[in-house]
């Protein structure tokens, strides 16, 4: 590699690390823990375990139980997304885009700032967890 290419590669790598998308994500990074319907969890994502402040698993499937979530344990990477809060979800594109790297948070335990329930158009709600994710926990996965 010549010196110009090396410098460009280093600049791009440092830019990605310093980029706001990869910095501390307390400004609105969320993950989806599952879908809450009339009959409870439908489905509850297997890689996501909801925990209370004391670290015990929360088993309830109603909004009152889910309001007690203070931590989440991930056993696999979870895609990070913009937080929709309790609003209806934005309408996406008609066709899926090409596969590309997207930000995700790696396995482990993370604090939960808030639990929200964005409404789905065909009934039910998502269980959305607002997280504070340190930059070193953000990884890229192809989706």
**Burial classification of residue 141, based on how many CB atoms lie within 10 Å of its CB (0-12 exposed, 13-18 middle, 19 or more buried):** middle
Specify the 3-state DSSP secondary structure of 60: coil
pLDDT of 25 reads 39
Q: Is the pLDDT of residue 20 over 70?
A: no
What is the rounded average pLDDT for all residues in the chain?
79
More confident residue, 61 or 116: 116
What tens digit of pLDDT does each residue of 24-83 get?
434 459 999 999 887 777 778 889 999 999 999 998 888 888 989 999 999 999 999 988
pLDDT of 17 > 60? The answer is: no
Read off the pLDDT band of 9 (50, 70, 90): very low
Give me the residues paired with residue 40 across strands. Answer: 37
Helix%, strand%, coil% for the chain, nearest 5: 15, 40, 45
Percent of the chain, pLDDT > 70? 80
Predicted confidence at residue 48, as pLDDT, reads 93
């Amino acid at each position: 590699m010549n010196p110009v290419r090396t410098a460009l590669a280093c600049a791009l790598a440092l830019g990605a690390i310093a980029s706001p998308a990869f910095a501390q994500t307390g400004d609105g990074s969320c993950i989806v823990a599952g879908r809450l319907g009339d009959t409870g969890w439908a489905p509850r994502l297997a890689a996501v375990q909801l925990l209370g402040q004391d670290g015990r698993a929360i088993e309830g499937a109603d909004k009152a139980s889910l309001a007690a979530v203070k931590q989440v344990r991930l056993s696999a990477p979870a895609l990070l997304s913009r937080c929709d809060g309790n609003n209806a979800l934005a309408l996406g594109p008609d066709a899926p885009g090409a596969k590309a790297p997207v930000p995700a948070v790696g396995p482990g335990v993370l604090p939960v700032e808030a639990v929200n329930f964005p409404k789905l158009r065909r009934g039910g709600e998502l269980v959305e967890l607002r997280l504070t994710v340190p930059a070193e926990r953000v990884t890229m996965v192809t989706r």
